[in-house]
Amino acid sequence: MRSFKGAILGLMSGSVRRHLQLPLVSRFWRVAFAATCIFGCATIARAQSSDSASGCPPKTRVDDVVDTYGSVKVADPYRWLEDQTSPETRAWIDAENKCTEAVLEHVPGRGDLRKRIADLYHTDNYSLPLERSGRYFFTKRLADQDLALIYMRRGRTGADELLVDPLGWSKDHSASTTIEGASHDGKFLYYSRREGGQDEVTIHLFDVDAHRDLADVLPSATYFSVEPTPDGHGVYYTRATPDGPRAYYHAIGTDAATDKLMFGDGLSKERILVLDLSDDGQYVAYLVLHGSSAPQSEIYIQDVKNHGPVVTVVNDIPSTFYPFFGGHTLYVQTNWNAPNWHVFATDASSPTREHWREVIAQSHDTIDQLAPVGGKLVTVYLHNATSQIILTDADGKNAKPAELPALGSVAVSGEWDSHELFYGFTGFNYPNTNFVYDIQSGHSSIWSKLNAPIDPSIFETEQVRYTSKDGTKISMFLFHKKGLKLDAANPTILTGYGGFDVSETPGYSPAMIAWAEKGGLYAVANLRGGGEYGEAWHRAGMGANKQNVFDDFIAAAEYLVANKYTNPGKLAILGGSNGGLLVGAALAQRPDLFHAIVCLYPLLDMLRYQKFMDGAFWVSEYGSSDKPDEFQYIYKYSPYQNVKKGTAYPSVLFVTGDGDTRVAPLHARKMAALLQADTGSKNPILLLYDTKSGHSGGRPVTKTIDEYTDILSYLTWQLGIPAQ
């Protein structure tokens, strides 16, 4: 089973993995800060005075650039910081980093905090396996290793054979690897090599039995799908090109420059193209997505075995469709006339709509994932933002649940011709565990488990509902140690996402375990714009409805304060990517409600986001300032354009880096400079800027530990948590 939705999520503005996000807030902060500011205060004060001899933060040059949108003139005083390679920008980045490092390295208790985060991350970690003809491919990172390595087992209980070791690729371990696919007989492995956190990778071919790389290398690009042929002779793949996405076929042993174009000629750059291959290699399904939010998609199918033409399955309905193969049956998961999704089936030889038959009807719960495995349909539903697995026959009948160990989140994987369903499970205090479910016997067993050094019994999770500005009920998870007192004094991180149909569901985060152990509350709000409650929920937070997302988030903070979980002086918000836009908008609209903000790899200048990197993919979600009617609503919430000089803003830590080739780091650079110049408070505005890390993961564990040490040090300092 291939995850089309997963391919889309990888290109969203918000694919920072949700279980690695944090949040922050505050206001009662002055007394608490004074009580704990032992030896970092003088440094902080210097860092906030641009006139001081220390030059922290650096004095930033102001441009007189003004753009005109219809009759509206909009100033962009830090346009020059968009040039990432200019000597002036590089010098500014270096100066900002020195200021931030000087501040954070003196936070009391930082060493103990780093040790605990390191203990939580230094555990053996396995991925879900990919099974091919009795061979199981997976990644494994041992507790003392910095990166995941690729292994294989011959049989489920066989010995682990090391195939690909990226530890020697770069001295700083900034180059990493991921499994992209394997041939049906398990003799060839396709893996990627990623430099830093970039989206672009190279695809390599590995001969499993000979234990060596072949000469075949697909060039550096953003790949949407990689599908090896069953005969092992080649691979179909889709990738971004300067002209738009394209599908190709590569024959093993040939020059990749001569790969055959299969589909996509004429598709524009804002489209995403993903393909799926039937298990026997006869049919290819092409999925064309109209941007990352996929408000519309198209499906085409081709009998490649018999050199057949490309046949249109659906291309004229403003809804989302995902194709899956189960043998020669084509399954279509769609929100067409069903905002909570339903599933149709048809024979691959007659795929057009008049032949479709509904096999899984829409229900009160939303369909999150579909996987044809072992002759069955495996459907993952979201019930109140937590996962449930239901198995049915191939025709959707005889529904049977697969029992899960707790309330949490699931990812499923498996093949049509195998009776093994693999699923990963995680919860706030349930470390990632991979299970294998035997479809024939109904028995589940553990494949691998993250043996984290925690006591799950000391924590608890609540799910509450609160009312947003327009009366809509919103759900929210609250994770904390047992015995939490409702005395309005709990240091709290509030996070959310609210976009691109991404669902915020319970998941294990070592950083949040460390936070909760220190008495912190971790709140995760299920905002509109996400996928927790179906496509209607998603559309209620996209485009002209985007303000609903910010209203939902602000209402979550107000609920936490009103119900005495915390107070504005103890409240922090955290978000990454699209979630960075979320906390940036909250900063601009309600600076009085929070004391600290962690803004990771964010979108902040929404009038120009579409001009950079993957921004064109997100126009279907946000709209574009290039269109006068869309400019009007984007301008009202775009954080960079809504900073008001002299306003007492909370403290902010911006986190980004050169390796982010998805969301341009210019957003964080410009916003940091603007806030440093215009804030009317003494709260520190900091920029943490890495020259290699980025959006797509693959970073070494030591780098992850460093970043979360910085983030949690910042939060414990700002929210007044005493060193222990």
Catalytic positions? 577, 695
Do residues 185 and 279 make contact, with C-beta atoms less than 8 angstroms apart?
Answer: no
| Cα 430 off chain centre by | 20
Question: What tokens appear for 171 in the block?
Answer: 């001295």
**Burial 462-492, CB ≥16 within 10 A → b, else e:** eebebebeeeeebbbbbbbbeeeeeebbbbb
**In which element (H, E) is residue 387 found?**
strand 386-393
Q: Which of 617, 2, 660, 663 is nearest to 272 (CA)?
A: 617
Instruction: Please give the Cα distance from 527 to 561 (Å, whole number).
Output: 18
Instruction: Please give the Cα distance from 150 to 138 (Å, whole number).
Output: 6
Instruction: Please give the Cα distance from 652 to 714 (Å, whole number).
Output: 9
Instruction: Please give the Cα distance from 284 to 301 (Å, whole number).
Output: 6
Instruction: Please give the Cα distance from 57 to 276 (Å, whole number).
Output: 50
Do residues 116 and 110 make contact, with C-beta atoms less than 8 angstroms apart?
Answer: no
Peptide bond preceding 57 in cis form (omega within 30 of 0): yes
Which residues does residue 324 pair with via DSSP β-bridges, in sequence order?
331
**Would you call 227 exposed, middle or buried from its count of C-beta atoms within 10 A (0-12, 13-18, 19+)?**
buried
DSSP H helical ranges for 522-598: 535-539, 546-562, 578-589
Q: Is 88 helix (H, G, I), strand (E, B) or coil?
A: helix
Instruction: Please give the Cα distance from 615 to 425 (Å, whole number).
Output: 32
Instruction: Please give the Cα distance from 13 to 603 (Å, whole number).
Output: 8
Q: Which of 134, 439, 417 is nearest to 281 (CA)?
A: 417
**At 507, which amino acid appears?**
G
* Residue 281 phi, psi dihedral angles, 5° rounding: 80, 5
Radius of gyration of the chain from Cα atoms? 25
Determine the length of the chain. Answer: 724
Instruction: Please give the Cα distance from 326 to 372 (Å, whole number).
Output: 5
Sign of CA dihedral 17, 19, 20, 21: positive
| Residue with tokens 């010098």, as numbered in its chain | 91
